[in-house]
Structure 1
């Protein structure tokens, strides 16, 4: 995936689903269920159990064109392992060596940043977009404040984002939002109750913002 392709995907979907679970089979089933329910831009966090296996199996099931990324990429080894497993983009929680390592492997990067200094650092390291993280404490006001000096930076808020917050961030100029628990629930831990309904609701929310 080229950087412009990730930007295009973020701009059209407006939503990244974040899957992190303790049950690898349930996490895989969750990824596949999300895609079946129309949420096809998915990040599998490396902090989940056997996440690399989940990515590899999801890639095999979904094919080469699937918009499947690896999250919580912290090191150069993480980046390399994610690429080998089949991730086509990387997501980091901070500006670490993983940003430049991912870019050297051909993976576009959503690099985590919270302050103006960190935003500049993420861009300097080659980030395709900035993952505003943790977005929850600052709310949409933080995004608006950062967009004033960085009007051309594509921001993707992540962290503590429910449906109401997602609407606020998208209205405040976020390119997309990353949503974990409020969308996925406990599906990646083995309890998929309500996943399809939540996916439908979040997909509708994202479509409204497009």
Structure 2
């Protein structure tokens, strides 16, 4: 995946699902269920038990064209391992040493930021888009404030984003929203979560109804 491809995927799909769990088989089932349900931009956090194997198996099942990324990429080794497992993009919780290695490995990066200084640093380091994290701290108003000095930056709020907050962040100019627990629930843990299909429908409805806001 090229950087422009990640931007266009975020712009078109508007919802990045974040899978994090304790059961590799359940995590894989969750990834596949998301794609079947229409959420076709998915990140598997490397904190998931067996995350690299989950990415490998999901890639084999979904094919090369699926927008499947690795999250919580902290180190250069994480970035190399994610690329080898078949991830097509990397997501970091901050501006970490993994950013340069991810780009060298051919992975566009959604880099975690929380302050204007971190935004400037991430952009200077070549981040493709910016994960505003934890988004719940500042809310949509903080996103609007950050967009003033960085009008060309592409922001994806993550952290505490439920369906109502997703609509508000998109209205405030987010390119997309990243959603973990409020969407995934317990699906990636032993026993799964029968409510996942209903939440998929809810979030897809939200992102489809909220009209895109210009992000320059």
- On whether the aligned pair clears a TM of 0.5, the verdict is yes
Which residue of structure 1 aligns with residue 15 of structure 2?
A: 15
| Matches for 1:65-80 after TM superposition, within 5 Å | 65-80=65-80
CA distance in 2, matches of 1:3, 1:47: 24
Q: What is the Cα deviation at residue 183 of structure 1?
A: 0.4
Which residue of structure 2 aligns with residue 106 of structure 1?
A: 106
Which residue of structure 1 aligns with residue 60 of structure 2?
A: 60
Note the alpha carbon deviations across 1:85-104, whole angstroms, 9 max, x for none.
00000000000111111011
CA distance in 2, matches of 1:206, 1:141: 19
| Matches for 1:188-199 after TM superposition, within 5 Å | 188-190=188-190, 191-199=192-200
Which residue of structure 2 aligns with residue 128 of structure 1?
A: 128
Q: What is the Cα deviation at residue 193 of structure 1?
A: 1.5
Query: Structure 1 stretch 187-196 or stretch 150-159: which is displaced more?
Result: 187-196
Which residue of structure 2 aligns with residue 187 of structure 1?
A: 187
Instruction: Name the SS of the counterpart of 2:160 in structure 1.
Output: coil
CA distance in 2, matches of 1:208, 1:84: 37
CA distance in 2, matches of 1:162, 1:201: 10
| Matches for 1:119-158 after TM superposition, within 5 Å | 119-158=119-158
Instruction: Name the SS of the counterpart of 1:69 in structure 2.
Output: strand
CA distance in 2, matches of 1:89, 1:164: 27
Give the RMSD, CA atoms, in angstroms: 0.7
Instruction: Name the SS of the counterpart of 1:188 in structure 2.
Output: coil
Which residue of structure 2 aligns with residue 115 of structure 1?
A: 115
TM-score normalised per structure 1: 0.99
Which residue of structure 2 aligns with residue 168 of structure 1?
A: 168
CA distance in 2, matches of 1:154, 1:101: 21
Q: What is the Cα deviation at residue 202 of structure 1?
A: 0.6
> Is the CA contact 1:90–1:108 (under 8 Å) kept in the aligned structure 2?
yes
Q: What is the Cα deviation at residue 106 of structure 1?
A: 0.9
Instruction: Provide structure 1 residue ranges, at least 5 long, that are not aligned to the other structure.
Output: none
> Is the CA contact 1:136–1:161 (under 8 Å) kept in the aligned structure 2?
yes
CA distance in 2, matches of 1:36, 1:206: 17
Which residue of structure 2 aligns with residue 207 of structure 1?
A: 208
CA distance in 2, matches of 1:207, 1:46: 29
Name segments (4+ residues, structure 1) moved above 2 Å. none
Q: What is the Cα deviation at residue 25 of structure 1?
A: 0.1
